[in-house]
């Protein structure tokens, strides 16, 4: 191979490393998808500052689990070749006031983060890896000529070439764990009589008796009739996690943002929102404000990224890798679409369900997706939904690790059980139609429009359906 061809391949490699550095600045929430694939030897041939940027992104992600264009810029200085702003003069002033350089770099790095946005990070890495591989092959070919002249056999040359490829990182990459370390931890805990635990647990005590926790990578379907209380159930779960310090994201495709905050405040305070609190006592008003400050401080984000599955999945990925969420709830599946696909509705929902299953495995967090059940269940005597009544989406039953079907007889105007015994006021239950270790089971609870779903009160700790400060009132909905 002549020197001109070698130089052309080297220039392509340099272009690829610049593109990769810029997309890493632009998509820190997607860095996990290439984590571990960039080896130091891949950056060694680079003589420019783009390699420093890539190394700093990798270092910050390994150290903190996150990075941004601003944090990378703050960690580097004007010595980064090829990225020094033209308006920064290296003199005594910058030596005494390095923040001047940092502020300029931050702006420049934010500009880099916006470049080539039509290409995602994984594609940029693929382009980089291909360019690096082709350039590396030219170096191996040059060595092969010398090996040939030195009298090495064909087999020796093949072995040496393969060894150089491994040293340069040009080999197959396997990221996924085979599950042995994770199962070993759980197995040894059981041998030692220790309770192996995960942070995300059902918010109802009655359900925790059946499902002690949701495992990372669980895909949970919660299905109910329209208007039955799916959103309450989702917000109950997120609030319970947040009060335990577990960050969560609520993908809210149905309710207004204000209504979400209102419901969270009511659940926490135990009282209905009123249009006029002015007649309350000062201590009651102070509690109202304190309860709201608590809700504001909790690690909950309610987001509406639009109804495109790719936008929802991207939002969850970003929340996972920038905020470290341990639970994502999507409200709800039938509101979503895949604009690029033309087909029957059930086919699109099947792809959405498969996508969420893959996403829960990729991010290693439980993802709870709400869904509607068919209206035909209203034709049954008890009006109770089954696992295969999820509207337009039989694939949900196949993909999910857990399926929960909340039931409120009062909502569907069923006053008594099959044996004629009347239901208690506010009666509700959660039928576990599918569970990894539970099988089919049910847990009883209660429901009202303030607290949402809550455990059956203990006799010694009984409380009314909802409590308001000052004068009692019906919920203001």
Q: What confidence score (pLDDT) does residue 185 get?
A: 73
Q: What confidence score (pLDDT) does residue 81 get?
A: 45
Q: Report pTM.
A: 0.62
pLDDT band for position 439 (cuts 50, 70, 90): low
- For 41-80, what is each residue's pLDDT tens digit? 888 766 568 888 998 999 998 888 889 998 988 888 655 5
Mean pLDDT for the stretch of residues 287-314: 89
Q: Is the pLDDT of residue 466 over 50?
A: no
pLDDT over 90, % of the chain: 19
- Measured CA to CA, the distance from residue 79 to residue 70 in angstroms comes to 17
- For 216-264, what is each residue's pLDDT tens digit? 889 999 988 888 888 999 999 999 999 989 999 999 988 888 889 999 9
Mean pLDDT for the stretch of residues 194-209: 84
The phi, psi pair for 389, rounded to 5°, reads -100, 5
Q: Is the dihedral of CA 81, 87, 93, 97 positive or negative?
A: negative
More confident residue, 161 or 101: 161
The phi, psi pair for 248, rounded to 5°, reads -140, 160
- For 84-132, what is each residue's pLDDT tens digit? 444 444 443 344 334 445 457 788 888 889 998 888 898 888 888 888 8
Order across the sheet with 427-434: list the strands: 300-303, 248-252, 327-331, 367-372, 219-224, 402-407, 427-434, 441-448, 452-454
Spatial contact of 280 and 473, defined as CB atoms under 8 Å apart: no
Spatial contact of 331 and 238, defined as CB atoms under 8 Å apart: no
Supply the mean pLDDT for the chain.
Answer: 80
pLDDT band for position 406 (cuts 50, 70, 90): very high
Residue 424: DSSP 8-state: P
The phi, psi pair for 416, rounded to 5°, reads -145, 160
Q: With CA atoms as reference, report the closest residue to 427 among 442, 438, 440.
A: 442
- Measured CA to CA, the distance from residue 471 to residue 131 in angstroms comes to 72
Mean pLDDT for the stretch of residues 186-205: 79
- Measured CA to CA, the distance from residue 419 to residue 42 in angstroms comes to 72
- Measured CA to CA, the distance from residue 207 to residue 446 in angstroms comes to 12
- Measured CA to CA, the distance from residue 53 to residue 226 in angstroms comes to 50
Mean pLDDT for the stretch of residues 157-183: 64
Hey, how many other C-beta atoms are within 10 angstroms of the C-beta on 464?
10
């Amino acid at each position: 191979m002549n020197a001109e061809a070698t130089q052309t391949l080297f220039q392509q490699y340099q272009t690829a490393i610049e593109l990769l550095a810029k997309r890493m600045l632009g998509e820190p929430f997607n860095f996990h998808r290439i984590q571990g694939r960039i080896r130091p030897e891949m950056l060694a041939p680079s003589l420019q500052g783009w390699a420093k940027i890539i190394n700093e992104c990798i270092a910050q992600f390994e150290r903190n689990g996150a990075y941004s264009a601003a944090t990378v810029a703050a960690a580097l200085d004007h010595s980064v070749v090829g990225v020094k702003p033209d308006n920064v003069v290296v003199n005594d002033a910058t030596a005494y006031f390095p923040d001047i350089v940092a502020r300029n770099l931050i702006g420049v790095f934010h500009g880099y983060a916006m470049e080539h946005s039509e290409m995602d990070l994984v594609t940029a890495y693929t382009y980089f890896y291909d360019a690096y591989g082709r350039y590396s092959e030219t170096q191996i070919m040059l060595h092969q000529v010398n090996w040939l002249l030195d009298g090495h056999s064909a087999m020796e040359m093949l072995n040496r070439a393969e060894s150089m490829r491994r040293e340069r990182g040009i080999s197959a990459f396997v990221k996924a764990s085979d599950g042995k370390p994770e199962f070993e931890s759980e197995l040894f805990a059981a041998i030692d009589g220790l309770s192996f635990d995960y942070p995300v647990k059902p918010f109802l005590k009655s359900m925790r008796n059946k499902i002690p926790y949701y495992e990372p990578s669980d895909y949970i379907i919660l299905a109910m009739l329209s208007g039955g209380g799916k959103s309450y159930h989702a917000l109950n779960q997120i609030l319970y996690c947040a009060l335990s310090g577990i960050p969560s994201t609520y993908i809210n495709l149905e309710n207004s943002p204000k209504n979400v905050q209102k419901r969270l405040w009511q659940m926490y305070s135990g009282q209905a929102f009123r249009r006029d609190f002015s007649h309350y006592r000062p201590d009651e008003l102070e509690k109202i404000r304190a309860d709201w400050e608590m809700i504001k401080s909790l690690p909950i984000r309610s987001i509406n990224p639009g109804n495109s599955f790719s936008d929802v999945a991207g939002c969850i990925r970003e929340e996972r890798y920038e905020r470290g969420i341990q639970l994502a709830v999507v409200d709800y599946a039938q509101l979503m679409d895949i604009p690029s696909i033309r087909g029957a509705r059930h086919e699109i929902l099947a792809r959405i369900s498969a996508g969420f299953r893959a996403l829960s495995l990729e991010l290693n967090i439980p993802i709870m997706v709400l869904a509607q059940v068919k209206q035909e269940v209203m034709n049954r005597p008890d009006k109770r939904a089954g696992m295969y009544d999820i509207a337009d989406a039989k694939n949900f039953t196949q993909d999910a690790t857990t399926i929960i079907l909340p039931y409120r007889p009062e909502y569907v105007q069923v006053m008594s059980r099959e044996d004629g015994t009347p239901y208690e006021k506010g009666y509700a239950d959660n039928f576990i139609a599918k569970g990894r270790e539970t099988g089919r089971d049910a847990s009883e609870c209660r429901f009202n429009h303030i607290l949402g779903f809550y455990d059956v009160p203990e006799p010694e700790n009984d409380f009314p359906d909802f409590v308001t400060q000052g004068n009692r009132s019906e919920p203001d909905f």
